[in-house]
Structure 1
Amino acid sequence: MASAGSSPSLDTSIGTTPGTNTAPWQRAAIGANLLSPDGGLGVTIFEEMTTLALSTGAINLGQGFPDEDGPDEIKAAAQTAIASGANQYAPGKGLPVLREAITAHQQRFYGLAPDPDTEVLVTTGATEAIAATLLAFTQPGDEVLTFEPFYDSYGAIIGMAGATHVTAPLLAPDFLPDLSALEDVFSHRTRIVLLNNPHNPTGAVFPHHVLAKIVELAARYDAIIVSDEVYEHLTFGVDHIPIASLPGAADRSITISSAGKTFSFTGWKIGWLSGPEHLVSAVRTVKQFLTYSSGTPFQGAIAVGLGLPDDFFTGIASTLQHKRDILAEGLRAAGFGVYVPSGTYFINVDTAPLGIRDSVDLARRLPGLVGVAAIPVPVFCHPQGAERTRSLLRFAFCKKTSVLEEAAERLASLKGRL
């Protein structure tokens, strides 16, 4: 969030309604909370916190990227593909081997069977899949409904498309929506309901009854469901349910995922979406004029990853749950109120038990106080939501165990340093 002369990414006073003469880049910046009312353009919160971590030598638990590579067999497959000459454009909709692997994955885990030729599209990460979908289906006058807090790129692309961003709050301690409030924010202008499940930044995993309500409301208002499921295999003690698997959802749903979170290859930017042909073909029309195709040697390698045995997928979740618990212990020792997540690799805490109501201020101080960086949750919200989440901080636990143990030890000293 932006303000002139300060750190724009953290000023929660910015409005969310661009003027009629606002340029597309400005709408994107406003949507991502990067532009102040006086026009000051700021950096993202991730850049600000990373800079603070570097300058103080702090452990960076702000930005959510792993510090370890994924499976060796996937890396070897990419290296072999490069050496064997798979270095030119892939087909615009993705290599057949990857599209077929995506279909097999959906069938294996969820009983879904999209046609790999007409109902699957490979994209440059999930971010492009989301962008191409929103640009394909929304325009000024349309509303896109997201849950709040929301991943910042959602607001940026909604703004770029010229649509109106409407939110439904996720409420502590479980960070699920109030279903009557959710019903209230749907309208005949709702073109897309954009679901992130498992949810970043809260770590919530939406249960069946919440998903069923979303399907019911989308059908009532003839809205498209766009489901960002990049954390689908990173759940702890609960099952991930793709919304497309619910009755009445498949014909109106686009399901998005990627290799970055599941396989810890975030830099490869291989994502995908699946859904009914009439929706996928529309998204493909837009996508081909954004990047056309993506990372040819990496696509076949990710196909190898999607075919790994079940114990790989259960193993990554089990390992991550252990890491979550290490960090949670240190956060409790620090005096925070800890909300233990059911999925993703993020854990949220409440600073209020420490007598601190402003997580933005604490986020700026934390690297210097104890040598750990985090992200304040209000930056993922519109102004009203920012006030509701004012005392929340998000930490990432997708790091080496030794790093998390050191971070937990540092955090445990916070009460004394305050």
Structure 2
Amino acid sequence: MPGLSDRVQTFTDSAIRRMTRISDEYGAINLSQGFPDFDPPKEIMDALAKAAYAGPHQYSVTFGAENFREALARKQGGAIGREIDPEKEIVVTCGGTEAMMCAMMTICNPGDKVMVFSPFYENYGADAILSGAEPIYIPLVPPEYGFDIRLVEEGFRQGAKAIIVCNPSNPCGKVFTEEELTAIGELAVKYDGFVVTDEVYEHMVYAPNHHTCMASLPGMYEHTITCNSLSKTYSITGWRLGYLIGPEEVIEAAKKVHDFLTVGAAAPLQEAAVTGLNFPQSYYDDLLELYTEKRAYFLDGLDRIGLKHNVPQGTYFVMIDIQEYLNLPQFAGYTDLEFCEWMIRNIGVAAVPGSSFFKEEVNNLIRLHFAREKSTMDEALNRLAKLQELVK
């Protein structure tokens, strides 16, 4: 057999999706892969039922159905603070995953450098490699996950073409402040680089924090490519509807990349999702209230058990410190991955090993999520309480 490409030897499969597969095998409660166990809004499901019969069932316009792009432009134009041209400044993708890959392949030549904050959503490193770019990792330092802006400038000085900013950040829940984003943006302008943002958790930002779109900052629209998705906002992760927003020159090029990557997103799903994009502000207020309650409920449960954790400013993820368990004789030599696999088999709860998110050597963290009904969280917390029996 001929040899395979070198690039596929440089990264593994997704640890997140791997944990889901093992979780399914053992019937564990899946708190690894971030999707809810409750239904999308009824209005969206009703719209999908209608589209199942009324259509459309054939290809939509490659870069997104017209009514879908128009609804996106109205919704996101308010967040970005400018009128978005749905014909020239939006391309609809097959999920936020394709949006990020499309952005990277649009702006990167082989050998270009791209900065990535660490910890990072695991796709970013692979995206850089697949697009031919070399990642430069900038540490976000626990427990507050702050960063040294001087390292960002050094990355641009080394010739970085772009920096990826996940805001709010998966996996650590950091919300970048307007001051932090402004500092990053000023460097992008100074060195004529791009900021590629991932803003899929934009509506899950907990008080007193607030979300700022990088593209809304003065002078930044021309330097920003915004990647986003409907998955988390409307609880439709399986629909795979994402998009890019950016200046016309970038989006026109991204359309070509997208066309030959996937041709287009599913037409009937776009039709149904327009209903969600037209929801009033009250929907997003209620969504934030829902996840604010879930965060408090789950973190209170972790506190009762005695599990050490951070307090996420956004997203529905929480990082758990497992060092005290790894110090026990029965776990001597365990990696965080091996501990997560042990948890699935013996505790019945699936988590993600933190090492899959860090460029640095980190073995003491795992990620859980709380996008679950209270009954599911209760059962997961009951099972997680067994961990404390190990250290009594």
Q: TM-score, normalised by structure 1?
A: 0.87
Q: How far does residue 403 in structure 1 lie from its aligned partner after superposition?
A: 0.2
Return 5+ residue gaps in structure 2 as ranges: 328-333
SS class of match (1:215):
helix
Change (3 A) 1:316 1:178: same
Partner of 2:52: 82
Give secondary structure in 2 for the equivalent of 1:289. helix
Which amino acid in the other structure matches residue 416 of structure 1? E
Does residue 270 (structure 1) correspond to residue 241 (structure 2)? The answer is yes
1:156-177 per-position Cα deviation (integer Å, ceiling 9, x unaligned)? 1211122101111111112232
Partner of 2:330: none
| 1:202-254, Cα deviation, whole Å (9 max, x unpaired) | 11111011101110111122111111111111111121100001112111111
Asked if residue 289 in structure 1 is aligned to residue 263 in structure 2, the reply is no
Q: Give 1:18-417 correspondences, 5 Å limit.
A: 24=5, 26-28=6-8, 30=10, 33-34=11-12, 43-237=13-207, 238-354=209-325, 356=327, 358-382=335-359, 385=360, 387=361, 389-417=362-390
Find the aligned partners of 1:186 and 1:349 in 2 and give their Cα distance. Answer: 33
CA contact (8 A) 2:174 2:312 kept: yes
CA distance in 2, matches of 1:85, 1:248: 41
Deviation, 1:353, is: 4.7
Change (3 A) 1:404 1:208: same
Give the residue type in structure 1 aligned to 2:338. Answer: D
* Partners of 1:28 and 1:157 within 8 A in 2: no
Q: Distance in 2 between matches of 1:29 and 1:268?
A: 30
1:283-342 deviation per Cα after TM superposition (whole angstroms, max 9, x unaligned): 111111111211111112222101111121111121112222222223233333210101
Cα separation, partners in 2 of 1:28 and 1:138, compared to 1, 3 Å: farther
Inter-CA distance 294–349: structure 2 relative to 1 (3 Å threshold) = same
* CA deviation after TM superposition for structure 1 residue 343, in Å: 0.9
Percent identity, aligned pairs only? 36
Structure 1 residue runs of 5 or longer lacking an equivalent are 1-21, 35-42
Structure-2 change in CA distance of 1:262 and 1:28 (3 Å): farther
AA aligned opposite 1:154: Y
SS in 1 for 2:371: coil
Question: Does the Cα contact within 8 Å between 2:56 and 2:271 map onto a contact in 1?
Answer: no
Instruction: Give 2:371's aligned amino acid.
Output: C
Residues paired across the two proteins, number: 382
Q: Pick which of 73-82 and 85-94 moved more.
A: 73-82
Contact 1:244 1:250 in 2 (8 A): yes
Residue type of the partner of 1:217? L
Runs ≥4 residues deviating over 6 A: none
- Residue 362 of structure 1 aligns with an amino acid whose one-letter code is F
RMSD: 1.9
Residue identity in the other structure for 2:299: A
Residues 1:188 and 1:355: Cα distance change in structure 2 (over 3 Å): closer
Question: Which amino acid in 1 is paired with 2:229?
Answer: S
Is 1:330–1:412's contact at 8 Å kept on the other side of the alignment? Answer: no
Matched position secondary structure for 1:262:
coil
Query: CA 1:332–1:148 in structure 2 vs 1: closer, same or farther (change >3 Å)?
Result: same
Distance 1:290 1:51, change over 3 A: closer
Letter in 1 for 2:376: V
The structural deviation recorded for 1:111 is 1.9
User: Partner of 1:272: helix, strand, or coil?
Assistant: strand
Name the stretch that deviates more: 164-173 or 52-61: 52-61
Matched with 1:10 is none
Residues 28 and 156 in structure 1, CA contact (< 8 A), matched pair in contact too: no
- In the superposition, the TM-score normalised over structure 2's length comes to 0.92
Partner-residue secondary structure (3-state), 2:261: coil
The one-letter amino acid of 2:224's match is S
User: What letter matches 2:304 in structure 1?
Assistant: A
Residue 189 of structure 1: how far off its partner (Å): 1.9
Q: 2: CA distance between counterparts of 1:412 and 1:98?
A: 45
Q: CA deviation at 1:29?
A: 5.1
Q: Is the 8 A contact 1:135 1:161 kept in 2?
A: yes
Alignment-mate amino acid for residue 344 of structure 1: T
Structure 1 position 358, deviation (Å): 4.8
The answer to whether the 8 A contact 1:151-1:200 is kept is: yes
